[in-house]
Structure 1
Amino acid sequence: MLLLITLYALLLGSFYNVVGLRVPLKKSIVKPRSSCPYCRHQLAAFELIPVFSYLIQKGKCRRCKGRISPLYPFMEALNAGLFVLAYLQIGMQMELLAAWTLISMLIIITVSDLKYMVIPDKVLLFFLPLIIIERIFIPLTPWWDSLAGGALGFGLLLLIAIISRGGMGGGDIKLYGVIGLAVGVKITILSFMIATFLGAVIGLSALAFKLIEKGKPIPFGPFIAAGTILAYLYGDIIISGYVSLFY
């Protein structure tokens, strides 16, 4: 089972790369076929095997030797790892479908935000009805937790954006509204706390090591994705561990 999930998720991860890279540019996700960004060589099937093609070709185009971004195999492997992790944590239950849907959305927006600093509305609008349908048939407890989580996620980031006068992007605000519907109030709050903590630590570290320039914005979407997945899969453990420090 683990092998099947891994192979399936690797293939999906490759497709999610295409979606995340093409949708912000308003390009078709079906055609043209994937090609080298340097010499435009159309990639053959054996050059499109997730992760393995990158390793076999040593991260370079087979024809022109142009360097291929490590983002591709990283996101493919990450998607596979998260799909497996969700299965191990949740088991073969209906909730696993909701988990895989959430992970899929977060992988795509991470690719887009890392590449273009954009969280595409089209991606959110695609996943929104899926998550609504899933929460109708796989409801949280209580059932209204999804609605409250969606309102909280959207409202909280909107309030921060207003107070900070644009310190929070519109894509982040809408993304948290969708996340809230998927995970409910408690996990939405924990997700935001973790995302903010990770963003602050990594952002300050990048500044300290001069990896980014002062005042230059960094994408918050990947931190939202990381915080959401950690909170969703390990929320109870994190909360229990935090409470035990004080009681």
Structure 2
Amino acid sequence: MNTTIIILIFLLGLIFGSFYNVVGLRVPINQPFANERSICPYCQHQLAWYDNIPLLSFAILGGKCRHCKEKISYIYPLMELVTGILFTWSYVVIGLNLELVTALLLVSMLVIIIISDIKYMLIPNNVLLFFLPLFIIMRIFQPLDPWWSALLGAIIGFSIIAVIIIVSRGGMGAGDMKLFGVLGIVLGMEKVLLAFFLACMIGAIIGMALLLTRVIGRKQPVPFGPYIVVAALITYFYGESLINSYFNLLL
């Protein structure tokens, strides 16, 4: 494993993670992000380039705005670090080949989604529509086996959540439905089912823990997106092993 490449990919992840913070926080509220400089959300002061260095600026400033001294949300350095780690892990697991592009695109989309869903309980259509054609192109050049698994995965992923929404009369959001449809293209028919099962299991365990510790109330809405994100990542990297292990237990 090339150490230089690992370091470069990690640094690239930190840089993109900083950008994804901006995208995840601005796109849901229709704020431009491509041509506008970052500002402090409290004092609206435009931040200098040296206040935007991933991880480093947060540490130097002690987690506070240089101008108004208000605390900076930990979501910024956390998502930068998570993106850096996931970019690096993608390379470690997959190696330097075409599928790595799919992995980095998947990580990118999921990081943006987890930020927007935690902050606004919303999975932006614009984000899904941006990544959808990219995943389709990648599955054309790097098809699943069989190739139609991606198409069937999209239908299954979309349909499962659609049925839940209809039966529960809004128990899940349309954003979750569209996200599973996109994930189906990346994961395929078998793995998208595994991702759904894992998301439900993770959500149930964490939800119960939050209820027991009274962090949330019984009727308090909780975003499901973060559970889908974790489940999708586990499934993408380890889904084949999990499925094989399950069937081996049955034999």
Measured against the shorter chain, the TM-score band is over 0.9
* CA offset digits 1:110-131 (Å, max 9, x no partner): 1100000000001111111111
TM-superposed deviation, 1:32: 2.8
Residue 186 of structure 2 is matched in structure 1 by 182
Could you tell me the TM-score, scaled by structure 1's length? 0.97
Distance 1:73 1:35 in 2: 16
Residue 104 of structure 1 is matched in structure 2 by 108
Distance 2:194 2:144 in 1: 16
TM-superposed deviation, 1:31: 3.7
* CA-based RMSD: 1.1
* CA offset digits 1:50-99 (Å, max 9, x no partner): 11111121111112110100001111111111111111111111111011
Residue 141 to residue 245, structure 1, CA distance change in 2 (3 Å):
closer
Matched, 1:7 2:11: yes
Could you tell me the TM-score, scaled by structure 2's length? 0.95
TM-superposed deviation, 1:243: 4.1
Figure out how many residues of one structure are paired with residues of the other and give that number: 247
Residue 202 of structure 2 is matched in structure 1 by 198
Matched, 1:123 2:127: yes
> What is the aligned counterpart of 1:140 among 138, 144, 158?
144
**In structure 2, the residue corresponding to 1:130 is in which secondary structure?**
helix
Matched, 1:53 2:57: yes
Matched, 1:40 2:44: yes
Distance 1:203 1:58 in 2: 32
Residue 25 of structure 1 is matched in structure 2 by 29
Residue 93 of structure 2 is matched in structure 1 by 89
Residue 80 of structure 2 is matched in structure 1 by 76
TM-superposed deviation, 1:242: 3.6
Identical amino acids, percent of aligned pairs:
49
Matched, 1:217 2:221: yes
Residue 150 of structure 1 is matched in structure 2 by 154
> What is the aligned counterpart of 1:208 among 209, 212, 216?
212
Which ranges in structure 2 are unaligned for 5 or more consecutive residues?
none
Matched, 1:236 2:234: no
Moved over 6 A (4+): none
For structure 1, which segment, 111-120 or 51-60, has the greater mean C-alpha deviation from structure 2 after superposition? 51-60
TM-superposed deviation, 1:244: 4.8
Distance 1:236 1:137 in 2: 21
Counterpart code for 1:7: L
